[in-house]
Amino acid sequence: MADLSTLAGIEGELAATADYDVAFDVPKAKRRVAALRRKLDFPQSSGRGEQNVAFTMQAIENQLQQVLAWIAANDTPSEAQRLANPDCQSAV
């Protein structure tokens, strides 16, 4: 798993997982969720001297909602998850 303790690590993970939907890769999408959530923990802008990083929290939240919706639509629940679902009428 990527180092999500630094902004550079988060950005690297976001770059590595940007194609989750094209690759139809649910585990990659879940990694993206973790990176987006972690990015929300950082201040909107930071920097030293002439180096400054800024991003919009709303844009990050929108991306997070998009990937969560994609996972919900494309993740196949395990048998244990299906059995734990109270709407499930049969294990078959």
Structure confidence by residue, pLDDT tens digits, 11-32: 999 999 999 999 999 999 999 9
Mean pLDDT, all residues of the chain: 84
The token duo for 17 is: 């997982």
pLDDT at 65 over 60: yes
Residue 38: CB atoms within 10 Å: 18
The Cα 30–Cα 28 span in angstroms is: 5
